[in-house]
Amino acid sequence: MAQMTGKQYKESLKKVKPVIYYMGEKVDDITKHPAFIPHINAAALTYDMALAPEFEELCSAKSHLTGERINRFTHIHQNHDDLIKKVKMLRAIGQQTGSCFQRCVGFDGMNATYSVSYDIDKKFGTGYHERFKNFVKMIQTKDLMPSGAMTDPKGDRSLSPSQQKDPDMYVHVIEKRKDGIVVSGAKAHITGAVNSHGHLVMPTTAMREGDKDYAVCFYVPIDAPGVMHIFGRQSNDTRKCDCSMDQGNCEYGCVGGEALIVFDKVFVPNEYVFMCGEWEYAGELVERFATFHRQNYGGCKGGLADVLVGAVYSLALAQGTAKASHVREKLAEMIHLAETIYCCSIACSCQGFAQPAGSFQADPLMANVTKLNVTRNVYEIARLAHDITGGLLATMPSEFDLHDPTVGKWVDKYMKGSSSVPAETRMRLIRLIDAMTCGTALAESMHGAGSPQAQMIMIERRGSLERKKKLAEKLAKIGDQPVLIC
Ligand SMILES: Cc1cc2nc3c(=O)[nH]c(=O)nc-3n(C[C@H](O)[C@H](O)[C@H](O)COP(=O)(O)OP(=O)(O)OC[C@H]3O[C@@H](n4cnc5c(N)ncnc54)[C@H](O)[C@@H]3O)c2cc1C
């Protein structure tokens, strides 16, 4: 079987037995728990869209390893077209879910590890790349969803992994055996972790020789002994449990569903170890992963912005403000900001290049510019949405009051805007805007794929300042400069 349907994906989650905690309780079947269902639905859509005739061209691909048609989220990019289709796919899915659909992190981790494992082998004569290819084949043929687990808890940020007082602040190897390794530590904020099939674990930072034990990359199935998941709380998450329209987006939620993954002396067999001690390549793996992941954000957040613009426009019609020139202008500005980040994602894909492994990588400088713009534009889009929505965004009564036999008629009467639009329609739109722009939903645009400073550092490093200085000096006739500066 090369591709699963959404239904088969949901069934596959019942076949594994991961350890998952939420709100102080162990959850045995997440497919039946309201806190998890929206996130599972969003991931399931990535399976269904790959099989839908309207979307299969974007959401599926031909495997270069097996020749089979596979879900694009398991594909290794082979050319520019793959990089561009990835961004278009993310926008298309974002338009359908209005929320994070989680599958890109593992996808980006696989693409980064694919090329880095090749480079490590070339330098050290190790055998990681063949192993990794076998792993990718397994993921592709079973259509699995691995999470991308890079971010460690990190403890004191001013100290390197090996300098931490508690050695578990970064995932590390505690024992090497003939048949594999034993690891301890944790990964924080991992998107889709509880509804993945396993975790692709990567180092989170560049390392020095002293950090050798922390330079480790591996895969573990979600229910491997010693792996534990603690699901994070989200803004307004009790609304998920009352299953009301107050959720805003009851089908797909407002963010990916993140978890802290604890690795307590977990055994990883050699076949799933893709880096172990090659500290020189930890930074390279982080950089390549970050490039792929930052490339995404104008795609998925562009798709989400399309939904948000639609919600705000519909609400303006329901409130009688849609014809006001400042509202039209603000809607146009929201579209402009969304298209700007999308342009960035497309541009860094077009400027991509082949790695020695044969796979394709987006342009790192432009990918970082993409994500830095996302940290700003998405907040500005939300600010404009809040402006047009009005104060009910923060003060609106619940669905329970709308349907209450005593106060319902008052809620219905006073929540009306334009007389031609039912109060419930207006309330539903406001809740959707609330879900898409408040709290947890926005933080992902700031910190997901790295905080803004991480992008600034990359932009400064790759911005060719010395060359630009020479260009200016040549024209200003400072010193002896060649006619053409390359
Ligand atoms: C919704 C969401 C989903 C995510 N999903 C994933 C996922 O699927 N997989 C994954 O691996 N990660 C994921 N992340 C993690 C994300 O990559 C991190 O949040 C991000 O890299 C920032 O790390 P941090 O949260 O530890 O913040 P910190 O690193 O603590 O950053 C907080 C602030 O401190 C600054 N800072 C940090 N270190 C230093 C230093 N040494 N000196 C000076 N300033 C410093 C930063 O610039 C920032 O301003 C997700 C995050 C979010 C919010």
User: What is each CA distance from 253 to 39, 53, 195, 231, in whole angstroms?
Assistant: 6, 26, 14, 15
Residue 40 domain flag: no
What's the domain range around 412? Answer: 285-469
* Choice from 451, 453, 455, 456 to test ligand 1 binding pocket (greatest atom count within 8 A of CB): 451
CA-454 nearest atom, ligand 1: 47
pLDDT in tens, 121-178: 999 999 999 999 999 999 999 999 999 999 999 999 999 999 999 999 999 999 999 9
How far apart, in whole angstroms, are the C-alpha atoms of residue 30 and residue 481? Answer: 65
Decide if 315 contacts 239 (C-beta within 8 A). no
pTM to 2 decimal places: 0.97
Residue 323 domain flag: yes
Residue 362 domain flag: yes
Task: List the one residue out of 75, 76, 79 whose CA is nearest residue 352.
Answer: 79
Q: What CATH number did the domain enclosing 423 receive?
A: 1.20.140.10
* Choice from 157, 261, 297 to test ligand 1 binding pocket (greatest atom count within 8 A of CB): 157
- C-alpha 310 to ligand 1 mean position (Å): 31
Residue 158 domain flag: no
User: What is each CA distance from 298 to 293, 370, 377, in whole angstroms?
Assistant: 10, 7, 10
Catalytic residue numbers, as ranges: 100, 104, 191, 258, 293, 297, 300, 444
Low-confidence ranges of the chain (pLDDT < 70): 1
Residue 475 domain flag: no
Q: Which residues, in sequence order, are CB contacts of 123 under 8 Å at separation 6+?
A: 278, 280, 281
CA dihedral 103, 73, 350, 374 (to 10 degrees): -10
Residue 220 domain flag: no
Ligand 1 within 6 A of CB of 258 = yes
In the block, tokens 């207006």 appear at 426
For 20-79, where are the alpha helices, taking DSSP H only? Answer: 37-51, 56-59
Ligand 1 within 6 A of CB of 190 = yes
Nearest residue CA, atom 53 of ligand 1? 444
- The per-residue pLDDT for 441 is 84
- C-alpha 188 to ligand 1 mean position (Å): 9
Residue 353 domain flag: yes
- The per-residue pLDDT for 438 is 87
Residue 136 domain flag: no
How far apart, in whole angstroms, are the C-alpha atoms of residue 416 and residue 426? Answer: 7
Number of domains in the chain: 1
Task: List the one residue out of 98, 191, 99 whose CA is nearest residue 146.
Answer: 191
* Residue 303 burial by Cβ neighbours in a 10 Å radius (0-12, 13-18, 19+): buried
- C-alpha 476 to ligand 1 mean position (Å): 42
- The per-residue pLDDT for 1 is 67
Cα 132 from chain centre: 22
